[in-house]
Amino acid sequence: MRAEKSTFWHIGVIGGSGLAAGLALEDAQEIEVASPFGAPSGPVTTGRIGDVRLTFLARHGKGHAIPPSEVNYRANIDVLKRCGVTDVISLSAIGSLCEEMAPGHMVLVDQFIDRTTRRENSFFGAGLVAHVSLADPTCERLRAMLGEAASLAGGHVHGSGTYVCIEGPQFSTRAESWMYQGWGAQVIGMTAMPEARLAREAELPYAMLGMVTDYDCWREDEAGVEVSHVLKVMQRNADVARWSVRELARHLPARREPVPIDTALEHALMTAHEQRDTRRVRMLDAVACRLFGERD
């Protein structure tokens, strides 16, 4: 069995817990979806905007109860794949490491630096080894369409940016912030990794719309990041984020043409068939459904 990806769009949206209601999905349903990788952050909300199916998942759970390091990123991506999602967009608050990306702006992240250390970052492992390419970790087509949608929604949009993902839950020290600037990062956050890695392993094109809330702490004449300030800017950004999703759905081409990411696992598996861990193969019945048939 080698199921091919649908020619119809089904957009998975990962974002804040209050976003689903604001999307005003038609025929919306909240559904619990189980995963062999444990409990996801919560139920999904699935519905339509026009003819486009969307499935939303709150990254931090209802009421923002799950901290970044404890999000079950594997389960979240797995359940979106189980729902039939073809592409994933991430909506996330970020800090800025450069003057031009000001609070209130939107950034279409195209590169990541991963500084996390405590998170399960692959669906594969002992008994089933795979190596996917992550040179370009976001989908160029999806990123471009999301950028156009954000502009139509009234956002001040930057077309690219390198995101450094830290473990958290604390914000950076000034020394760390200066170091990340020296590395070439423009924005900073706590959630994009391993989310983007896992989306690639699941053959799901991924794009991130980062919403700048603050200047981190690299400005010596300013105080560090305060949650109260972050929340105020997030509230202003939320409407633009919602309308960006709606504009994206309205302007998608009628037919979804394939992209190379749809077959990211094609030559990634390294373990010989007879040496594969059958339990791990069964756990990948959604993530790698295109490759593994009944004989596996």
What is the predicted pLDDT for the residue at 22?
Answer: 74
Residue among 87, 216, 221, 285 flagged as catalytic? 216
**CATH number, domain with residue 254:** 3.40.50.1580
Mean pLDDT of 223-234: 63
Neighbours of 3 (CB within 10 A): 9
Report yes or no on 295 lying in a domain: no
Closest CA to 23 of 60, 49, 50: 49
Cβ neighbours, 10 Å, residue 17: 19
Catalytic site residue 216? yes
Eight-state DSSP code of residue 66: S
2 pLDDT exceeds 60? no
* 292 inside domain: no
- Residue 221: which domain range? 10-283
Q: What pLDDT does residue 249 have?
A: 96
pLDDT, one tens digit per residue, over 24-60 is 899 999 999 999 999 999 999 999 999 999 999 999 9
Number of domains in the chain: 1
Give domain status of residue 5, yes or no.
no
- Residue 296 placed within a domain: no
pLDDT tens digits for range 162-177: 999 999 999 999 999 9
> 55 near 85, Cβ under 8 Å?
yes
2 domain residue, yes or no = no
Mean pLDDT taken over the chain: 92
Task: Tell me which of 187 and 227 has the higher pLDDT.
Answer: 187
Q: How far apart are CA 260 and CA 184, in angstroms?
A: 27
What is d(CA 209, CA 169) in angstroms, rounded to the nearest whole number? Answer: 21
Annotated active-site residue 110? The verdict is: no
Asked if the structure places residue 290 within a domain, the reply is no
269 part of a folded domain: yes
What's the pLDDT tens digit per position in 192-212? 999 999 999 999 999 999 999
User: Which of 52-56, 102-106, 222-226, 268-272 shows the lowest mean pLDDT across its residues?
Assistant: 222-226
Segment 101-108 mean pLDDT: 95
pLDDT of residue 149: 97
Half-sphere exposure of 202 (CA within 13 A, CB side): 34
For residue 46, give the amino acid letter: T
> pLDDT at position 238, please?
82
Confidence at residue 232, expressed as pLDDT on a 0 to 100 scale: 65
pLDDT for 193 equals 98
Which candidate in 87, 114, 214, 262 is catalytic?
A: 214
Looking at residue 262, what is its pLDDT? 97
When computed from its CA atoms, the radius of gyration of the chain, rounded to whole angstroms, is 19
Residue 152 lies in a domain: yes
Query: Which of 78-92, 139-153, 215-229, 230-244 is predicted with the least confidence, judged by mean pLDDT?
Result: 215-229
| Candidate from 14-18, 40-44, 228-232 with smallest mean pLDDT | 228-232
Element (H, E) at 210: strand 206-214
Name the token pair of 109. 């992240």
Maximum distance among all Cα pairs of the chain, rounded to whole angstroms: 64
